Amino acid sequence: MTPGRRARLVDVARGKFGFLLVALISLLMSTPVMSEGRLWRSLIIIFVAGVLVTGLYAVRPGRRWLHFGMIVAAVEFAIGRAAIVYPARWLILAQIILWIVALLYVTVAILEWVLDSPEVSMETLQASFCVYLLLGLLWVYLYALTDLTTPDSFRVLDGPACNWLDDQSRRVQYMRLFVFSYATLTGTGLGKIEPGNGFSNILASLEAMSAQVYLAVVVARLVGMQASPPPSARREIHPPPPEPEVQEP
């Protein structure tokens, strides 16, 4: 690999959106071992905290929001530990709602930044990809909320059904929902579960439509920004005409 390519790869992982992108990819790549041993679970906890912290930091860079992200990650971790020791639906529900609120806020804020960006830059591309991955993660927790409040919303094609009060079973279900969400987002149709009622079918259809609309809008926006230079560049290409000289009588 040439030094130039290596430098470009490093640039992708830099900046507020680069940190979030690395955290999201790390979390997704660790999904297959979500239900494995304690070491892997500890690693996933780090990735989960990284997504929350870097997501809030990307929206509002600064030490105050970095600390706030750490607090949110600590609260999420505490709720998760409490749900293991004292299995209760309201604890799992609180954890899911925390994720939905945080992801919805971060996704909308970054999407607004992308649409308001005056030109295509590395940050714009990073932010666009982050929003795409955040959409898939947001739908994971929307599916989890549906499955928790309405049992049998998703049929398991391979393996036992989910028991949300059992930690191991809950982790396996999260892994299934991860795969199902991103399979629906990308249109690959993979996964070991399928919608079990009309409402979950509608949710899956909405996710597929949201992905298509997002790609169409964002790609059109990026192409438009690339085709038309920013106002500063236009002024350099077409400078304003000189003002006429006023002759003194």
The helix/strand/coil state of 195 is strand
Bridge partners of 155? 194
pLDDT tens sequence across 217-246: 888 877 777 666 555 544 444 455 555 555
Is-contact 134 103, C-beta < 8 A? yes
pLDDT tens sequence across 42-67: 778 888 888 998 888 888 888 887 88
Spatial separation of the C-alpha atoms in residues 124 and 103, rounded to whole Å: 19
pTM score above 0.75: yes
Whole-number pLDDT of residue 249: 47
Whole-number pLDDT of residue 9: 44
Whole-number pLDDT of residue 12: 59
Q: Kindly list the domain boundaries of the chain, sorted by start residue.
A: 12-226
Residue 107, φ and ψ in degrees, nearest 5: -65, -45
Spatial separation of the C-alpha atoms in residues 85 and 91, rounded to whole Å: 11
Tally Cβ neighbours within 10 Å of residue 17.
27
Bridge partners of 156? 193
Apex 242 CA angle, 237 and 246, nearest 5: 175
Whole-number pLDDT of residue 236: 46
Q: Which of 153-157, 186-190, 205-209 has the lowest mean pLDDT?
A: 186-190
243 compared with 140, residue with greater pLDDT: 140
> Could you tell me which residues come within 8 angstroms of residue 102 by beta carbon, excluding any fewer than 6 positions away?
52, 55, 56, 72
Whole-number pLDDT of residue 135: 93
The H or E element containing residue 156 is: strand 154-156
The helix/strand/coil state of 144 is helix
pLDDT tens sequence across 64-110: 878 888 899 899 989 988 988 888 999 999 999 999 999 999 999 99
